[in-house]
Amino acid sequence: MILMDIVLMIFSSLILVICILVGVAFMV
């Protein structure tokens, strides 16, 4: 249960970083 929460947290943060990188790439 706790392991799944950690994996989910890492996945969501990774998606957030990717979204920010894509946004910056399109802004430039």
Using CA atoms, how far apart are residues 19 and 14, in angstroms rounded to an integer?
9
Whether the predicted pLDDT of 1 surpasses 90: no
Residue range 4-28, pLDDT digits in tens = 999 999 999 999 999 999 999 998 8
pTM of the model: 0.63
Using CA atoms, how far apart are residues 9 and 7, in angstroms rounded to an integer?
5
The owner of tokens 């950690």 is 6
pLDDT of residue 28: 83
